[in-house]
A and B are shown apart, each in its own frame.
Chain A
Amino acid sequence: MSQGRTLTFNIFRYDPQEPGDKPKMVKYQIEEAPGMTVFIALNMLREKQDPSLQFDFVCRAGICGSCAMVINGFPTLACRTLTSKYPKAEITLMPLPGFELIGDLSVNTGKFMRELAERLKLWLHPKADEVDIHRIEAPMAPEEAAKLYELERCVECGVCVSACATKQMRDTFVGAVGMMKIARFELDSRDTRSVEDFYHVIGNQDGVFGCMTLLGCQDNCPKDLPHMQQIAYLRRKMATALV
């Protein structure tokens, strides 16, 4: 553990609410502590040097997905990034691209995720006669539950959206998070939507056939979700849906 180093942070600063404010990079220095994460460093900076610094966090344990930002060119979670990872002791922080900027490192991923869920109808569509609150739910096979759980691990941090050049070029593209969630309901035996129904949602340039397989999602996902296999699976499924 490199102890006693002085870390230099280059942080993007811009407050769209502040009239006349312009985007700029601001330099901060801080003493490194053992086991320090970028998230801890940011909190110390805000506490001791600049209370106006804006960034998001809730859980500080890689579960809430709030503290995603671009750290030295890699979009990832600040709470899971140790400062000791950077031998040069220089860390550049940028807000996630592709989202509405709230201020500094804080972006509105929630608005994006909500719109996506409404647009792709990302909730279970059960059979009408199956909704009976007086009856015990039908059990699910453990294998199926495990498969769904694997895809449910997504924390909606927005890293896959920011890492995707296709999404940056095509604003209406659903991104890996959208396809991951569609795949989750496609695999769910309780969901009544057919392959054709899903085709009408993601069988276009905004969905699987717009994906250019740049794999920024696969390479940056902080939860290591299997985006590459999942999108390939959906693509194969959709490619044979309407023939």
Chain B
Amino acid sequence: MNVKSLQSHHTHYASLGSPWSAKADKVQSITGILLGCFLLAHLHFESSILLGKKAFYHVVQFLEGGMFSSTGHGFPMVTKLFSIFILIVVMLHALVALRRFPAQLGQWRALRRHMSGINHKDSHAWFWQLVTGFILFFLAPVHIFTMITNPEIGPHLSAERVYHANAWLLYALLLPAVVIHAMIGLYRVAVKWGLTANRAGLRKVAKVLIVYLISIGLLSLISYILIGRELSLPITPFVP
């Protein structure tokens, strides 16, 4: 087929296919899956506080490589480095996801007009992914930067951050935004690439996960607030 004739015919549309179009789509999906899976693990790890201070201490000790450190507590440097890695993944994801934003007023109005005229659940779900994605531009970096500059985690150290440094406000806003964004996103990426044909089942799983993750997230946040209220400054790190 004559590619040149195609090009001349297409000048007023998007230009000839560039390999970057495919790459951008793949990067968005891969970074999205990475972040979604990380979130699933992250929320479970931090919610181990619901099983007691000792449980959370051991989770942190294990994840920070406690078995390799002389003190047995682990290295906060691990959290620092991992946070930098997550920041890079978030930046990559945001960079390619920006292609989807209705950046022009006309596009935004077209979207709102469509939503008011056409009754379609998945389009509405995408709208909420868009809104939460926008919120995450501002909230996620705050959390990640805190973990890069102050990576100390522990039953008392985290409670101090939540209660005395007022991080609870950030977490209360970040939690629903990131959970809704990530779970709708994981559902979408699966149907997008045809990973499953059972769409209804997947949608149900996404809904259940949203409720479940926000619940354990909120309960553990309350736990940290309760622990923080009992602590007097300066705090001493928890040791079992």
Contact = CB atoms under 8 A, between A and B. Distances in A.
B169 interface: no
Contacts of B10: 119
Interface in B1-57: 1, 3, 6-7, 9-10, 12-19, 21-22, 24-26
The secondary structure that dominates the B interface is: helix
Contact of B14 (A168, A193, A206, A229): A206
Contact of B191 (A204, A215, A216): A215
Contacts of B26: 239
A142 to B, nearest CB: 24
B122 A219 contact: yes
Nearest to A205: B14
Interface stretch (B74-82, B112-120, B137-145, B159-167): B112-120
B238 interface: no
B102 interface: yes
Contact of A200 (B6, B118, B192, B197): B6
Interface in B130-150: none
Nearest to B3: A200
B97 to A, nearest CB: 10
A163 B120 contact: yes
A125 B204 CA distance: 44
B100 A212 contact: yes
A110 interface: no
Given A206-B14, A216-B122, A228 B9 contact: no
Given A119-B9, A197-B1, A204 B18 contact: yes
A232 to B, nearest CB: 3
Nearest to B2: A197
Interface in A166-221: 168-170, 172, 192-194, 197, 199-216, 219-220
A193 B99 CA distance: 29
A213 B118 contact: no
Contact of B1 (A125, A209, A238): A125
Contacts of A219: 120-122
Contacts of B17: 199-204, 207, 238, 242
Residue of A165, A205, A214 with highest tally of chain B CB at under 10 A: A165
Given A97-B117, A125-B1, A119 B122 contact: no
B123 interface: yes
B193 A236 contact: yes
Given A214-B120, A220-B120, A243 B113 contact: no
A213 B192 CA distance: 6
Given A162-B118, A168-B114, A214-B123, A206 B22 contact: no
Contacts of A212: 100, 126, 188
A118 B10 CA distance: 10
B119 to A, nearest CB: 3
Interface of A: 70, 72-75, 94, 97, 118-119, 121, 125, 162-163, 165, 168-170, 172, 192-194, 197, 199-216, 219-220, 228-229, 232-233, 235-236, 238-243
Interchain residue pairs A-B with the least CB separation, the first 9 = A232-B194, A203-B17, A73-B119, A213-B192, A204-B14, A242-B19, A206-B14, A209-B21, A169-B107
